[in-house]
């Protein structure tokens, strides 16, 4: 690990927000030293309550997150937000009015807001999100909120990082059915019917409560359905209370088998991602480019090329080696 990175880690440990931003950038850009960074700060993690906010586009998640920041700040909590939804005001895709409402939070030194680009592979996105959450946790935030759009396996994987997953829906358009189709019903710890002043809110609430009643209870937790009007700050206190009750439930009913399985999944994910990233870098150097050129020209098929590299000790060592050049 180079001296500049050592300095950044020391600054990070002292609470330097610029150092936090630099380390997040290295992790997001998949710099070769990303794993070493997380290895160093890992003992400092495990203190924050990680809250996942997900749901279909247009459900008002960003407005709800904005309200949650204010509520937790009112409780004296340090709050971080990692926004992955490309329509979120945090990630720069919203109208100007939404961005203006974020100004107070951006100026608050106890609030840190960061967007994560959805460019690149799904696996890379999931890994980057995991590692950024660990950095935000280790930095001393009490609450880390992950906001993401609730469609597809990528978002379900990212939600696996959360201690408490909040699934947000709205009354229009059979939204509860879409939630079930997306697989969000199984991962929800709290349901929110936002924009609850609109017609159909009571029907959606009843449908969600029926789904909750029919699904297995696990360790005894039944997800509550909370009605909110985030834009008017209605029902958000009840949501904070529901999230708090779920955290208390987790502390009182620790599931050792679930925690062990979660750690195993994390290990497999980061191992396969690291091998993939190292292999991608190695394909630009050493013996691999020669084989790549033969594949490209049709001189050898991809499967024979793969076996040739894996059977060549020097080439295999190049694939597994760890480059030390920094992207910073």
Q: Does residue 24 belong to any structural domain of this protein?
A: no
49-55 and 164-169 strand pairing:
parallel
Q: What is the DSSP letter of 120?
A: S
Q: How confident is the model at residue 219 (pLDDT cuts 50, 70, 90)?
A: low
pLDDT confidence of residue 139: 97
Reported as a single tens digit per residue, the pLDDT across 156-171 is 677 788 999 999 988 8
User: Residues 82, 116: contact at Cβ < 8 Å?
Assistant: yes
285 and 311 share one domain: yes
CB 116 within 8 A of CB 144: no
> Which of 254, 276, 304 delimits the end of a domain?
254
Q: Residue 106: inside a domain, yes or no?
A: yes
Counted domains in the chain: 2
What's the CA gap between 69 and 48, in Å, rounded? 14
Q: Are residues 292 and 313 in the same domain?
A: yes
Based on the domain organization, do 301 and 202 belong to the same domain?
no
Question: Whole-number mean pLDDT of the chain?
Answer: 83
Q: Please check the confidence at residue 135 and state whether its pLDDT lies above 50.
A: yes
User: Is position 25 within any domain?
Assistant: no
Q: What is the pLDDT of residues 190-215, one digit of tens each?
A: 999 999 999 989 998 998 888 888 77
| 17, 64, 226, 279, 306 from 45: Cα distances, Å | 17, 26, 30, 29, 38
Domain identity same for 76 and 202: yes
- Residue 303 inside a domain? The answer is yes
Cα-based distances in Å from 27 to 46, 77, 189, 264, 319: 19, 25, 29, 21, 20
User: 288 and 224, same structural domain?
Assistant: no
pLDDT digits (tens, 9 = 90+) for 226-282: 999 999 999 999 999 999 999 999 999 887 887 898 889 889 888 888 888 888 777
Residues 156 and 217 grouped into a single domain: yes
Instruction: Answer yes or no: is pLDDT of 125 > 50.
Output: yes
At residue 123, the pLDDT reads 55
User: Above 70 in pLDDT, residue 51?
Assistant: yes
The tokens for 286 are 């050493």
Higher pLDDT, 152 or 18: 18
15 in a structural domain: no
How many residues in the chain? 328
For residue 40, pLDDT over 70 is answered with yes
Q: Are residues 283 and 234 in the same domain?
A: no
Q: Is residue 34 part of a domain?
A: no
CATH number for 204: 3.40.50.300
Examine residue 221 and state whether it is found in any structural domain, yes or no: yes
Domain interval for residue 280? 261-320
Using the 3D structure, point to which of 203, 219, 254 is the last residue of a domain.
254
Task: Tell whether 189 and 268 lie within a shared domain.
Answer: no
- pLDDT at residue 216, rounded to an integer: 67
Is residue 182 domain-shared with residue 270, that is, in the same domain? Answer: no
267 and 231 housed in the same domain: no
Question: 115 forms bridges with which residues in the sheet?
Answer: 83
Q: Could you say which of 220, 254, 288 is where a domain stops?
A: 254
102 and 70: one domain?
yes
- pLDDT one-digit tens code per residue, 56-90: 888 889 899 999 999 999 999 999 999 885 544 45
Domain match, 193 and 313 both: no
**pLDDT of amino acid 303:** 93
- Could you give the percent of the chain with pLDDT greater than 70? 81
In a domain? residue 85: yes
């Amino acid at each position: 690990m180079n001296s500049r990175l050592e300095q950044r880690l020391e600054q990070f440990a002292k609470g330097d927000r610029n150092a936090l931003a630099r380390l997040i950038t290295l992790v997001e850009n998949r710099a070769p030293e990303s794993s070493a960074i997380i290895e160093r700060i890992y003992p400092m993690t495990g203190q924050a309550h990680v809250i996942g906010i997900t749901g279909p586009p247009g459900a008002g998640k960003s407005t709800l997150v904005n309200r949650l920041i204010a509520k937790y700040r009112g409780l004296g909590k340090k709050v971080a937000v990692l926004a992955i939804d490309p329509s979120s005001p945090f990630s720069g895709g919203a109208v100007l009015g939404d961005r203006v409402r974020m100004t107070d939070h951006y100026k608050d030194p106890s609030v840190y807001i960061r967007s994560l680009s959805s460019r690149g592979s799904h696996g890379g996105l999931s890994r980057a999100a995991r590692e950024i959450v660990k950095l935000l946790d280790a930095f001393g935030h009490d609450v880390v909120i992950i906001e993401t759009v609730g469609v597809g396996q990528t978002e379900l994987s990212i939600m696996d990082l959360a201690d408490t997953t909040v699934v947000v829906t709205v009354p229009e358009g059979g939204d509860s059915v879409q939630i079930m189709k997306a697989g969000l019903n199984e991962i929800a710890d709290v349901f929110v019917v936002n924009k609850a002043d609109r017609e159909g809110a009571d029907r959606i609430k009843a449908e969600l409560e029926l789904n909750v009643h029919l699904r297995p209870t696990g360790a005894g937790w039944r997800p509550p359905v909370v009605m909110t009007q985030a834009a008017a700050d209605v029902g958000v206190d009840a949501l904070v209370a529901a999230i708090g009750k779920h955290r208390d439930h987790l502390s009182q009913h620790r599931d050792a088998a679930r925690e062990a399985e979660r750690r195993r999944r994390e290990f497999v994910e980061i191992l396969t991602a690291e091998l993939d990233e190292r292999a991608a870098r190695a394909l630009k150097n050493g013996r691999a480019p020669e084989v790549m050129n033969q594949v490209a020209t049709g001189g050898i098929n991809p499967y024979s090329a793969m076996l040739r590299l894996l059977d060549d000790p020097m080439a295999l060592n190049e694939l597994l080696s760890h480059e030390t050049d920094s992207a910073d």
